[in-house]
Amino acid sequence: MKIIKRNGTEVSFDIGKIVNAIKKANNEVSEDNRLTEEQIAEISAKVKSLANDLNRAVSVEEIQDFVENQIMDHKAFAVARKYITYRYSRALVRKSNTTDERILTLIECNNEEVKQENSNKNPTVNSVQRDYMAGEVSKDLTRRLLLPRDIVEAHEQGLIHFHDADYYAQHMHNCDLVNLEDMLQNGTVISGTLIEKPHSFSTACNIATQIIAQVASNQYGGQSISLTHLAPFVDISRQKIRAEVAEELADVGVMEDTIARIAEKRLRDEIKKGIQTIQYQVVTLLTTNGQAPFVTVFMYLGEARNEREREDLAMIIEETLNQRIMGVKNETGVWVTPAFPKLIYVLEEDNIREGSKYFYLTELAAKCTAKRMVPDYISEKKMLEYKVDRNGEGHCYTCMGCRSFLTPYVDENGKPKYYGRFNQGVVTINLVDVALSSGGDKEKFWKIFDERLDLCYRALLCRHNRLKGTLSDAAPILWQYGALARLKKGETIDKLLYGGYSTISLGYAGLYECTRYMTGKSHTDAEAKPFALSVMQHMNDKCKEWKAKHNIDFSLYGTPLESTTYKFAKALQTRFGIIPGVTDKSYITNSYHVHVTEKIDAFTKLKFESEFQQLSPGGAISYVEVPNMQDNIPAVIAVMQYIYDNIMYAELNTKSDYCQVCGYDGEIVTVEEDGKYLWECPHCHNRDQSKMNIARRTCGYIGTQYWNQGRTQEIRERVLHL
């Protein structure tokens, strides 16, 4: 069994330290109030047993809570007072400097919590460490100076989660849809250098990657670009290449169709190089936060403005899918699955059925999903139904990163607008804690629910107010040079925070466990489902109430919960103990999802979750877990066609691994040892994570740098849906 110390380092459990701590407190009281040696041994053994029952690494604070409770159970109140007093005095000493130890262990790579915090950050790299160091300082300032005490305490207890506190001290926002069209067509400025409209497709791709890197360094969430914005530059290159070929062959006297054929072949080569630039630049770029840009690439034929542009966009999509199927080479030269860019493919009437014009792209997308886990799929049909603006028109557009969706918006000219908009930030409510705090009493549940939602509301206003007054000069690429706006120097971004131009998100987690505790059944049960839907509707109603009050676009968001799933689970176990089916895992369920252990087929799962996805307008994604499907592409297409007809946004999860020691390319598994989950090659039993390539869909995006113990257990326990 492992213990996580306060500085984040991980050590083996030592019962002797518990015995010694109790003895120190015991020796400070009179003999008639002391515990016997047998009682001390009994308490220590019980603490060890309780820690073992959690089936995960246990924090020092949790061990100390167990010790306190056991001393009290033995009626040794004088000893308990001494133990509590000593613990309190040590806590005061630690509070005098809250960051030094964590930063030092972070630099020496001893901080297990930080190592497992982000599945796409390598904590041994200097740039990542620098970002984490700055994050520790920001979190400390946020905790001590910037947030109200009750919000800090609620966050620390796991009642709510105030996301991205490591960036809160700065005036930074969450995620956005980059207006790549504006920046390419009208020019932009990068690092003080004017970048004019490109004169070829390959140059447009190169500029796009520079924009992606700059945007990623000036906000902390995901960003999305559309391939449609690159499509006009295909014809610019076509005309340029055609003129060059005609000039080269002028003396030969070849026919016009020959010139066109040669030009088209060279154009294909340029498209290939341009897409390679995007893929390899995104994978190899390191932003200021020490990771590859968290970027999503949107592929939607319906965005094209004319037939020529649509055909050119189809060529770009085809090349993008082909290159992703190939993958990228790891350090040993083997083709593996990259985490980014994330790809989203829109299912529409022209590509969804066999015989439709672009069905060949859908077949290619299916092959890509089976091998590389992307693209994810948006149903144009369902999105046009769900995302309806005030004029009654439906719209199809991409999310900002892994799942955060903008709400429909019409500008002052009556035109729909999505690119150039953003999300201000997220605060998540722990629905499981609301349920457990109510003790199962429905009336008490709704009262506590409203109290916690009020905490979230005030925390979200803190996020909003932190952005108010931000000058456009803070991030010129975003606010002055077209990524999000074209504001003047010295102008504030305030007008972009109101009226629906940007959103701000109320996140939620653990609907399954909440429903299970309150009804005794999974929310997939017909008797329990109405309660789960009422919880979702209540959060939507609150968002509407807050929006009407402030003219800020509050929106309900199905939180991804990468590391927070583990944090919430630990907090629940500390507050309520182990409750079978509710707190007996080291994770809680993402948003509205069906529990990962529940046996349900892919189509039933997607249909069920579609109702909840519709009630999560600020963002949500559903998935089905599938085996290796590379030899069963028709089955993948069948799922895609079901997505088109039934749910707005979904993905297929498979596995994509490689062992660098023995060359095994099947599924690398987890094994449990000393209370900890480790990754192991089943062929050669290699456990060296630096000599493996593992890709798993974490919570809407692919992770490749390993996960915390809660998320690892969740991945381990997933059942197949197909």
- Taking only the tens place, the pLDDT of each residue in 24-62 is 999 998 988 899 999 999 999 998 888 888 877 788 888
- Among 636, 600, 546, residue whose Cα is nearest residue 364: 636
- Residue 83 pLDDT: 83
Q: Is 644 a catalytic residue?
A: no
Contacts for 133-136: CB closer than 8 Å, 24+ residues apart = 133/103, 133/106, 133/107, 134/166, 135/166, 135/167, 136/99, 136/102, 136/103, 136/106, 136/166
Q: What angle do CA 645, 648, 651 make, to 5 degrees?
A: 95
Q: What does the pLDDT average to over 503-511? A: 98
Q: Is 557 a catalytic residue?
A: yes
* Banded pLDDT at 125 (limits 50, 70, 90): low
- Residue 485 pLDDT: 97
Query: What is the residue-wise DSSP string for 442-491?
Result: HHHHHHHHHHHHHHHHHHHHHHHHHHTT-BGGGSHHHHTSSSS--PPTT-
Structure letter (DSSP) for residue 144: I
Q: Is 632 a catalytic residue?
A: no
* Banded pLDDT at 107 (limits 50, 70, 90): low
Give the span between the Cα atoms of 196 and 194, in whole angstroms: 6
**Least confident stretch, 287-301, 352-366, 625-639:** 287-301
Q: What does the pLDDT average to over 585-602? A: 95
Q: What are phi and psi of 236, to 5 degrees?
A: -60, -45
CA distances from 721 to 145, 595, 711 (A): 47, 12, 19
Q: Of 700, 706, 708, 710, which residue is the catalytic one?
A: 700
Task: Answer with the residue of higher pLDDT: 684 or 95.
Answer: 684
Q: What angle do CA 310, 401, 290 make, to 5 degrees?
A: 120
The residues, any chain, with a CB within 8 Å of residue 36's CB and separated by 6 or more, are: none
Give the span between the Cα atoms of 432 and 520, in whole angstroms: 13
Task: Look at residue 362 and tell me whether its pLDDT is greater than 80.
Answer: yes
Percent with pLDDT over 90 in the chain: 68
Neighbours of 239 (CB within 10 A): 12
Preceding omega of 375 cis (within 30 degrees of 0): yes
Q: Of 117, 136, 513, 562, which residue is the catalytic one?
A: 562
pLDDT tens-digit readout, 702-714: 877 677 788 888 8
**Least confident stretch, 83-87, 344-348, 529-533:** 83-87
* Token duo for residue 169: 């001290």
414 φ/ψ sector (left φ>0, alpha ψ -120 to 50, else beta): left
Q: Of 44, 237, 423, 708, which residue is the catalytic one?
A: 423
Q: Is 174 a catalytic residue?
A: yes
* Token duo for residue 383: 């999105």
215 SS3 class = helix
pLDDT tens-digit readout, 316-325: 999 999 999 9
* Banded pLDDT at 11 (limits 50, 70, 90): confident
Task: Look at residue 696 and tell me whether its pLDDT is greater than 60.
Answer: yes
Q: What does the pLDDT average to over 9-15? A: 80
Q: Of 172, 368, 400, 539, which residue is the catalytic one?
A: 400
Query: Quick one: which H or E segment has residue 247?
Result: helix 232-248
Q: What does the pLDDT average to over 288-299? A: 81
Q: Is 175 a catalytic residue?
A: yes
396 φ/ψ sector (left φ>0, alpha ψ -120 to 50, else beta): beta
E strands within 480-552?
Answer: 503-509
Task: Look at residue 286 and tell me whether its pLDDT is greater than 90.
Answer: no
**Least confident stretch, 10-14, 510-514, 550-554:** 10-14
Q: Is 666 a catalytic residue?
A: no
Is the pTM higher than 0.75? yes
Structure letter (DSSP) for residue 254: -
Q: Of 557, 623, 644, 706, which residue is the catalytic one?
A: 557
* Banded pLDDT at 10 (limits 50, 70, 90): confident
- Residue 121 pLDDT: 59
Spell out the SS3 assignment of 67-86: HHHHHHHCCCHHHHHHHHHH
Give the span between the Cα atoms of 435 and 445, in whole angstroms: 6
Preceding omega of 341 cis (within 30 degrees of 0): yes
pLDDT tens-digit readout, 405-417: 999 999 988 899 9
- Among 308, 403, 325, 307, residue whose Cα is nearest residue 363: 325
Q: What angle do CA 694, 585, 51 make, to 5 degrees?
A: 105
Q: What does the pLDDT average to over 643-666? A: 94
Instruction: Let me know: does 508 contact 558? Beta carbons within 8 Å.
Output: yes
- Residue 287 pLDDT: 61
* Burial of residue 454, with CB atoms counted within 10 A of its CB: 0-12 exposed, 13-18 middle, 19 or more buried: exposed
- Residue 690 pLDDT: 86
- Residue 82 pLDDT: 86
- Residue 58 pLDDT: 83
DSSP bridge pairs for 346? 378
Instruction: Let me know: does 7 contact 104? Beta carbons within 8 Å.
Output: yes
407 SS3 class = coil
CA distances from 184 to 84, 194, 196, 488 (A): 63, 12, 7, 19
Give the span between the Cα atoms of 95 and 187, in whole angstroms: 50
Q: Is 646 a catalytic residue?
A: no
**Least confident stretch, 21-25, 131-135, 229-233, 447-451:** 131-135
* Burial of residue 32, with CB atoms counted within 10 A of its CB: 0-12 exposed, 13-18 middle, 19 or more buried: exposed
Task: Look at residue 594 and tell me whether its pLDDT is greater than 80.
Answer: yes
- Residue 289 pLDDT: 61
Average pLDDT, rounded, for the chain: 91
- What is the distance of C-alpha 536 from the center of its chain? 21
Instruction: Let me know: does 431 contact 648? Beta carbons within 8 Å.
Output: no
Q: Is 423 a catalytic residue?
A: yes
The most distant pair of C-alpha atoms in the chain lies apart, rounded to whole Å, by 113
Beta-strand pair 295-299/223-226: parallel
Task: Look at residue 288 and tell me whether its pLDDT is greater than 80.
Answer: no
The residues, any chain, with a CB within 8 Å of residue 285's CB and separated by 6 or more, are: 209, 212, 213, 292, 293
Task: Look at residue 420 and tell me whether its pLDDT is greater than 70.
Answer: yes
Q: Is 183 a catalytic residue?
A: no
- Residue 319 pLDDT: 98
- What is the distance of C-alpha 467 from the center of its chain? 22
Beta-strand pair 669-673/622-625: unpaired
Q: Of 174, 472, 555, 610, which residue is the catalytic one?
A: 174
